[in-house]
Amino acid sequence: MKKNYVEKLGSVFLQCQFSLLFSLLLIGINGCSSSSLYHINIMPAPDIYHSANIDPFSDEAAASSSHDRGMLYVTDRVPDPNEKKYSRYLNERGDVLRAGIATIGLGDGTIDWQEARKISLLKNRPDYYPLKVTAAEEFGVLDFSINTFTQTEFIPSPVSAPAAHFAELIDAKLAVSEKKDIYIYVHGYKVVFENPILVASELWHFLGYDGVFIAYAWPSTPSRWAYFSDLESADLSSSNLRQMLKFLAEETSVERIHIIGYSAGTRVVGKALWQLALQYAARPDSELDKLRLGNVILVGSDIDQHIFARQIADGLLRVADKVTVYLSANDKALSFSSWLFSRDRLGEAWKKSTPKRETIEFLRKSKKLTLINVTGAEGSTTGNGHAYFRQSPWVSSDILISLFYDLAPEARGLVYDNDYPAWFFPEDYLMRLKNSLSLNLNRSQF
């Protein structure tokens, strides 16, 4: 009797220990959310604008005009029927895709374009400047996302009108842009609808509002306890993203579609590309070119390394021009995720002894897959080291240069480690960046 009591007591004690550890774990992976649910403070200015004297707003009139048009978004969240002050969409799966446009406000709403431009480029800002969504106008349900199980009340009339309007607006933006490209940002775990719109607005801002930016808001949940359910929602949303990519390629005048996936959002991106790879497996490369997928960037990727390897084996790299994976040895969120699943995450920097010989040889020879180790980059350890694509002025510079100028890593000031193998940020990165851009770009482009 006494023995059974002791065993039960020990079991309860172990359960309590696990609960405490699990709570700490979930706090640790709380790296995809902002300090506030409904606004973010504008990210540090990428160092490219200081070290290389590049002005992203050289075409001020075009940039200002694009800024006034707002941020396009696509979401498969459920609309909020109560239209609350903040939450325009609920944190629930909505099955179908809805498109719209959001208006962004900076600071207290009294800052004009000229002041916003100056503030955003300051290396040492005197204060925090929050970005927030001040309005959101939905066009309606995109007909290509309607399926057998879609509720009839969600089907628009005429059914193709919202998608047609969405495509027309994209083409109108592309018509006044120097670059005829679309950029899509896919967010991570534990954020509300507004977050991806605000992050996409930051990135588009530092691209000088050229091209078209779309925020894809899949139904993540602003709760540290929703990690596993969010991962399942990410898998579900991958099908919707896949359909959206095909729609953009077929129904707009875009030349190239680039994707930036972050954290758990890389699951949405990775699986969408994998599904396309399977669909086009028996088709020639000329058919894949019609998808117009350019650079796919995966940051802080919370994907099992072995799953990603299998997706590559199934042809994932055939789908896009190139796939760039950013890695860090200081990403605490991914360290917790790795511990939880007992599997290495794609966004974790490998130890030199970890990859198999075959993997190393593949990485050395691959012309489509690039690994970039941000471990030594300035600002990459800010917070829990997970949001370095916004917090590190070096990493944000590299991403923006890659997207806008389509330069190879060496031309962006990075150095290759043949043993790893990956590109890394050297201590003299800023000097290399400035010299490389001077050699590889015409000064009239700056």
Q: List, for residues 398-446, the tens digit of each pLDDT value.
A: 999 999 889 999 999 999 998 889 999 999 999 998 888 888 775 434 3
SS3 359: helix
Note the pLDDT tens digit of each residue in 208-244.
899 999 999 999 998 888 899 988 999 899 999 999 9
> 200 pLDDT exceeds 50?
yes
Given a contact cutoff of 8 angstroms between Cβ atoms, the answer to whether 240 and 76 are in contact is yes
At position 275, the amino acid (one-letter code) is Q
* Number of alpha carbons in the 13 Å side-chain half-sphere of residue 376: 12
Which residue did the predictor score with more confidence, 200 or 35?
A: 200
Note the pLDDT tens digit of each residue in 252-310.
999 999 999 999 999 999 999 999 999 999 999 999 999 999 999 999 999 999 999 99
> 14 pLDDT exceeds 50?
no
SS (H, E, C) 7-27: HHHHHHHHHHHHHHHHHHHHH
SS (H, E, C) 110-167: CCCHHHHHHHHHCCCCCCCCEEEEEEEEEEEECHHHCCCCCCHHHCCCCCCHHHHHHH
**Per-position DSSP letters for 165-189, written without gaps between them:** HHHHHHHHHHHT-SS-EEEEEE--S
> 5 pLDDT exceeds 50?
no
Residue 206's contacts (CB-CB under 8 Å, 6 or more residues apart) are: 45, 46, 49, 56, 120, 396, 400
pTM of the model: 0.89
Q: What is the C-alpha to C-alpha distance for residues 225 and 171, in angstroms, rounded to an integer?
A: 41
> 355 pLDDT exceeds 90?
no
